[in-house]
């Protein structure tokens, strides 16, 4: 297929040797079956058909641009004058030109500058022009970045004759934009974009574009928490130095925004007392930074793990081997968030992370002699160690349908449960349910699963609180979901068949917490991290000693980069574990400054002690020591 002026010329070659063809022609049809053009094909050696008389036929045909895609048929006559028509030797033949312009950034989450910057999530679209005298309808554009990653699918319902399509951004309509995530360490200056375009009449186009990538000037800075326990923390970037006022700024959580009761946030200038960011809904859009305007030269983002309610973020064990207690296997334990299984009336702000301390198994009645624990076998554990075992209220299910429960007593269990609180761990009441007939913590042969409720109440070693025979609360209405009660979590444990181990160890159940009105964050002029301009280029990479040192609560770290390159500054504890990343981005050559406020990646304060900070850029690496004293 070649262009001849505004038309298209096609060379057609048909191999008719197998049917001993003596004549041939080519026919081009529109997708709807209308004959567009027909041409004879020749076997004379002069039409790109090979050698004369070899039954390979060739020819050419020229057509004007068509609104529909075309397909090629060939009609062959053999030596006995039988006629054959080969259908759709080639399909999706497109002659309608389409013009694709450079991509346009519709929304960028980091600084709202309308550019694709390293470290940003960028939403973009592409303008199209129809230079034809006919309409192109129902265009679907599949967009790939870097050749393989799906960025999105654009939909263009109608492209009028000699008309154009200019993108209109609608955050609620994913078909109006494409998305690309550009890592902070992205090595190039452009992101390659591949387009695969089709319309309603089988036209197909492919185009290659590039999205220009820029390097941001300043890093994000985490705000300091003044109150609350949310799992997400706002971060701030100075976008416009001219508009930025060196004031203190406060971000506050809002419990309910609008009719739906969705959590939200607002921002005020604490120095003047004025609200500079109206109450905004907290959702996946605003957490990513989309839909949040630049105010006073500042852009607000969120970091951390967001969840609209309380949920389990992770289970953290003391070691790989310390993950089992009698009958327990790590892969079989799960924790169910409250309000998805039973109803709890515990306020969101009152939830706590949980610590489980497992006991040591002391013996096993190996009934089948296979040398390992199996459901229904008897075992004992060290119940004298009150730090790692306690008693729990045992409810037995007498019938499955309908579920009938009965209280069976205050039974020893092979672990102790604590709420992790700021002053000291608080031991908690536990209630568990099972089919077991032995009135103990055990896995039944018929249902090798035990469910336990981790209550919000402080552990009562007398066993009175949930024993109705002693004047305590009857929990059966709570178990049946007909009554609310302050409960942290439901713990489902299944038997770990074939697991012979039962080792002392701890498990921390870490929660995500939503943003509430009790959450408040602050940032001031000394908190911002910016590149420091320098009139001279340093002769070498260098990491300077932090100042002040020792420090509490904030210290400044200065470093220099000899060349424009990617550089990072990270803080580690004495065990070599990463505490926080202070910078991880492309740097210009010159002097740079970051601050560390003694918090980790979750914006939680770390204990006093020795810490190390490391500068890395390419093959260069340097480490220095600092001391945090509280």
Is the confidence at residue 334, as pLDDT, over 50?
no
Per cent of the chain over pLDDT 90 is 39
CATH of 2-93, one of 2.30.30, 2.60.120, 2.60.40, 1.10.357: 2.60.40
Report the pLDDT value the prediction gives residue 70, as an integer from 0 to 100: 96
Mean pLDDT score of the chain? 83
- Distance between CA atoms of 12 and 10, rounded to whole angstroms? 6
Is the confidence at residue 327, as pLDDT, over 70?
no
Answer with the residue of higher pLDDT: 312 or 295. Answer: 295
pTM for this prediction: 0.62
Q: Percentage helix, strand, coil, to 5, in the chain?
A: 5, 50, 45
Answer with the residue of higher pLDDT: 157 or 376. Answer: 157
Is the confidence at residue 322, as pLDDT, over 80?
no
Report the pLDDT value the prediction gives residue 484, as an integer from 0 to 100: 81
Is the confidence at residue 399, as pLDDT, over 70?
yes
Per-residue pLDDT, averaged over 442-447, amounts to: 58
Domain boundaries, the chain: 2-93, 99-214, 224-308+517-523, 312-512, 531-628
What are the pLDDT digits (tens) for 409-435? 998 888 899 998 766 889 999 998 877
- Distance between CA atoms of 459 and 486, rounded to whole angstroms? 14
Per-residue pLDDT, averaged over 141-167, amounts to: 91
Count CB neighbours of 441 within 10 A: 24
Fold matches, 2-93 and 99-214: yes
**b/e code 90-106 from CB counts within 10 Å (16+ = b):** eeebbbbebebeebebb
The string of DSSP letters for 540-580 reads: S-EEPPPBSSSBSS-EEEEEEESSSEEEEEEEE-TTS-EEE
Across 282-399, where does the E strand assignment appear?
298-304, 311-317, 328-337, 353-358, 361-365, 378-381, 390-399
Is the confidence at residue 513, as pLDDT, over 90?
no
Per-residue pLDDT, averaged over 441-463, amounts to: 77
**Regarding the domain with residue range 531-628, which homologous superfamily does it belong to in the CATH classification?**
Macroglobulin (MG2) domain (2.60.40.1930)
Report the pLDDT value the prediction gives residue 618, as an integer from 0 to 100: 86
**Phi, psi of 550, rounded to the nearest 5 degrees:** -65, 165
Say if CB 287 and CB 232 are below 8 A apart.
yes
Per-residue pLDDT, averaged over 377-384, amounts to: 75
Helix (H) or strand (E) holding 478: helix 476-479
Query: 37: which strand partners?
Result: 28
Report the pLDDT value the prediction gives residue 201, as an integer from 0 to 100: 95
Q: Which residue has the tokens 């026919």?
A: 27
Say if CB 567 and CB 615 are below 8 A apart.
yes
**Phi, psi of 95, rounded to the nearest 5 degrees:** -120, -10
Lowest mean pLDDT among 39-43, 344-348, 536-540, 621-625: 536-540
Is the confidence at residue 62, as pLDDT, over 80?
yes
Domain 99-214 is of which CATH architecture?
A: Sandwich (2.60)
Lowest mean pLDDT among 171-175, 310-314, 512-516: 310-314
Per-residue pLDDT, averaged over 309-326, amounts to: 58
- Distance between CA atoms of 99 and 91, rounded to whole angstroms? 22
- Distance between CA atoms of 604 and 314, rounded to whole angstroms? 17
What are the pLDDT digits (tens) for 336-364? 444 444 567 887 778 888 888 887 777 77
Is the confidence at residue 125, as pLDDT, over 90?
yes
Report the pLDDT value the prediction gives residue 445, as an integer from 0 to 100: 53
> Which two three-digit tokens encode residue 273?
């007392």
């Amino acid at each position: 297929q070649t262009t001849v002026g505004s038309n298209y010329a096609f060379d057609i070659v048909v191999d008719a040797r197998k049917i001993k063809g003596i004549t041939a022609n080519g026919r081009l049809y529109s997708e709807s079956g209308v004959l567009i053009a027909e041409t004879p094909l020749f076997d004379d050696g002069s039409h790109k058909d090979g050698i004369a008389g070899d039954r390979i036929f060739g020819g050419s045909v020229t057509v004007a641009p068509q609104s529909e895609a075309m397909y090629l048929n060939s009609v062959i006559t053999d030596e006995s004058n039988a006629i054959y028509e080969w259908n759709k030797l080639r399909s999706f033949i497109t002659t309608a030109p389409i013009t694709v312009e450079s991509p346009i950034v519709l929304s960028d989450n980091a600084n709202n500058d309308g550019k694709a910057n390293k470290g940003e999530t960028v939403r973009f679209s592409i303008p199209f022009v129809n230079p034809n005298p006919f309409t192109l309808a129902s265009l679907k554009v599949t967009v790939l970045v870097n050749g393989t990653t799906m960025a999105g699918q654009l939909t263009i319902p109608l492209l009028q004759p000699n008309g154009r399509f200019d993108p209109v951004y609608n955050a609620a309509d994913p078909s109006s934009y494409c998305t690309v995530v550009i890592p902070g360490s992205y090595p190039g200056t452009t992101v390659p974009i591949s387009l695969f375009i089709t319309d309603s009449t089988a036209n197909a186009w492919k185009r290659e574009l590039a999205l220009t990538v820029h390097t941001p000037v300043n890093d994000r800075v985490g705000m300091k928490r003044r109150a609350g326990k949310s799992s997400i923390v706002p971060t701030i970037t100075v976008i416009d130095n001219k508009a930025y006022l060196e004031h203190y700024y406060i971000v506050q959580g809002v419990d309910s925004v609008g009719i739906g009761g969705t959590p939200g946030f607002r921002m005020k200038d604490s120095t003047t007392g004025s609200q500079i960011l109206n109450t905004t809904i907290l959702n996946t859009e605003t957490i990513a930074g989309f839909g949040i305007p630049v105010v006073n030269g500042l852009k607000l983002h969120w970091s951390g793990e967001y969840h609209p309610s309380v949920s389990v973020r992770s289970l953290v064990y003391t070691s790989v081997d310390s993950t089992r207690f009698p009958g327990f296997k790590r892969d079989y334990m799960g924790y169910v968030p409250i309000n998805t299984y039973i109803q709890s009336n515990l306020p969101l702000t009152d939830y706590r992370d949980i610590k489980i301390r497992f006991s040591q198994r002391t013996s096993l009645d190996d009934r089948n002699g296979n040398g390992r624990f199996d459901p229904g076998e008897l075992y004992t554990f060290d119940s004298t160690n009150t730090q790692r075992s306690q008693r729990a209220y045992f409810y037995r299910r007498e019938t499955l349908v309908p579920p009938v429960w009965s209280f069976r007593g205050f039974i020893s269990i092979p672990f102790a449960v604590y709420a992790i609180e700021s002053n000291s761990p608080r031991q908690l009441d536990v209630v568990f349910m099972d089919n077991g007939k032995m009135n103990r913590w055990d896995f039944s042969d018929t249902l090798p699963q035990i469910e336990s409720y981790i209550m919000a109440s402080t552990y009562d070693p007398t066993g009175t609180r949930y024993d109705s025979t002693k004047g305590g609360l009857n929990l059966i209405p709570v178990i049946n979901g007909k009554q609310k009660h302050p409960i942290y979590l439901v713990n489902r444990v299944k038997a770990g068949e074939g697991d012979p181990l039962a080792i002392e160890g701890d498990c921390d159940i870490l929660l995500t917490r939503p943003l509430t009105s009790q959450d408040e964050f602050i940032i001031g002029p000394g908190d911002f991290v910016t590149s420091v301009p320098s009139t001279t280029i340093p002769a070498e990479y260098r990491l300077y000693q932090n100042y002040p040192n020792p420090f509490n609560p904030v210290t400044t770290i200065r470093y220099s980069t000899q060349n424009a390159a990617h550089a990072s500054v990270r803080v580690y504890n004495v065990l070599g574990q990463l505490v926080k990343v202070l910078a991880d981005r492309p740097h210009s050559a010159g002097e740079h400054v970051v601050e560390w406020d003694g918090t980790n990646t979750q914006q939680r304060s770390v204990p006093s002690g020795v810490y190390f900070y490391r500068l890395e850029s390419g093959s260069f690496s340097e480490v220095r020591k600092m001391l945090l004293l509280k």
